[in-house]
Amino acid sequence: MNKRYRAHAALLGTTLIFGMHYSIAKSMMPGVFTPEQLIFLRLFAGAVLFWFFERLFVREKTERRDILKFALCGVLGFSLNQALFYEGLNLTNPVDASIIHLVNPIIVLIFAHLIIREEITTAKTVGILLGASGALVLILYSGTISFRGQYALGNLLVLLNTVFYALYLVLIKPLTAKYHTATILKWVSIFGFLFILPFTFRQALDIRFNTLTPAGWAGLAYIILLNTFVAYLLINFALQQLTPGVIGYYSYLQPVIATLLTVSAGQGTITLPKIVAALLIFAGIWIINRRKAIKG
C-alpha cells in the first residue's frame, strides 16, 4: 500500500473515531464532567502523551522561528477548537452539531485557497456539494433539528469550533512537510494546554475520579486515547500526503459511519434514502480525489 492509500486509510480511521465521539462526549456532560473539566483532562492528557511519544521515538530539533507557528496552531487546533466544541455540545445535541460540521470542508477549502493557495477546482466544488447533499439527507432523515433557546448559543459555539479547526488544518499543512508528526503534535498540544489552563484549572480541582463508573472511565479513555492521541496522529500523517481540502471532506463520512453502526447494532435498517445518501457521499469522494482535483 503506497503512502497516498495509507493516508486515506488513516482518514477513514479518524472519521470512524470522530463519528462516535459526538454521542460519547454528550453522554458525559454535564452528568459526569463539566465541559471545562473534560477540556482540561483531554488537553492535559494529550500534551503528556504526545510529549512522551516524541521523546521516545523521534527527538527532533525545531527551529525557533517555527515556535510561534506551533503556538498559533496549538491555540486554534487544540484550545479553541476543542473548548468550543465541548461547550457548544453541552448546550446543543449531536444532530445539530453534526449538521453544522457539514460546512467544514467548504471553510477548509476557502482558507486553503486564501492562505496556502490551494486551487479551487470544479471537481472539488462538485465533490463537496455531492458530499454535503448526501450527509444532509442522512442527518435530516435520521432525526429532528432544534435551534431554540440554549441550542442557538450551542450551535454558534460549534460553528466557531468548525472555523478554528479548518484554520488549524490549513496552517499546520506547511509544517507537515518540515517536521515529523510527533514533533508537531508535541508542540501544538503543549501550547494548547497552556492556553486553556487558566480557564479550566479551577473546575479541574473539583474532579472526583473515585465517583467514576466503568462507563465513565471507558468514555474518558475513548476521548483521550482514541479521539485525541490516535486521531490527531492519523490526521497529521494524512496531511503529509493530502491537501487540507481532502482532509476536510472526510467529515461527510461521519453520518454514514454512524448509520452503519446503528444498523449493525440492530437499532436501524437500510432504507432507500440512506442508500442514496451514501452513494452521493462516495461519489463526492471519488470526484474530489481524482488526480485532476487534488492538484494545487
* Per-residue confidence (pLDDT) for residue 275, from 0 to 100: 74
Q: Is residue 267 part of a domain?
A: no
At residue 276, does pLDDT exceed 90? Answer: no
What's the rounded mean pLDDT across residues 116-143? Answer: 73
What's the rounded mean pLDDT across residues 150-161? Answer: 83
In this structure, the number of other CB atoms found within 10 A of the CB of residue 56 comes to 9
Q: In whole angstroms, how large is the CA radius of gyration of the chain?
A: 19
Give the three-class secondary structure for 271.
Answer: coil
pLDDT tens figures, 5-15: 888 889 889 98
Mean pLDDT over the full length of the chain: 83
Q: What residues make up the domain containing 7?
A: 3-129+147-251
The one-character DSSP state at 60 is -
Q: Is residue 293 part of a domain?
A: no
Q: Is residue 203 part of a domain?
A: yes
- Enumerate residues 6+ apart whose C-beta is below 8 A from 236: 172, 176, 181, 184, 185
Q: Is residue 172 part of a domain?
A: yes
* Per-residue confidence (pLDDT) for residue 140, from 0 to 100: 67
Query: Percent of the chain at pLDDT above 90?
Result: 40
Query: Percent of the chain at pLDDT above 70?
Result: 84
pLDDT band for position 293 (cuts 50, 70, 90): very low
* Per-residue confidence (pLDDT) for residue 246, from 0 to 100: 78
SS (H, E, C) 110-151: HHHHHHCCCCCCHHHHHHHHHHHHHHHHHHHHHCCCCCCCHH
Domains: count for the chain: 1
Q: Is residue 140 part of a domain?
A: no
* Per-residue confidence (pLDDT) for residue 295, from 0 to 100: 43
What's the rounded Cα separation, in Å, for the pair 253 and 218? 24
For residue 259, give the H/E element and its range: helix 254-264
pLDDT tens figures, 38-52: 999 999 999 999 999
Q: Is residue 216 part of a domain?
A: yes
Higher pLDDT, 33 or 93: 33
Higher pLDDT, 167 or 89: 167
At residue 294, does pLDDT exceed 90? Answer: no
- What's the whole-model pTM score? 0.81
pLDDT tens figures, 168-204: 999 999 999 899 999 999 999 999 999 999 999 999 9
* Per-residue confidence (pLDDT) for residue 130, from 0 to 100: 79
Q: Is residue 260 part of a domain?
A: no
Do residues 78 and 192 make contact, with C-beta atoms less than 8 angstroms apart? yes
Burial class (CB in 10 A: 0-12, 13-18, 19+), 207: middle
- The answer for 155, left when phi > 0, alpha when psi is -120 to 50, beta otherwise, is alpha
Q: Is residue 277 part of a domain?
A: no
At residue 129, does pLDDT exceed 60? Answer: yes
* Per-residue confidence (pLDDT) for residue 124, from 0 to 100: 74
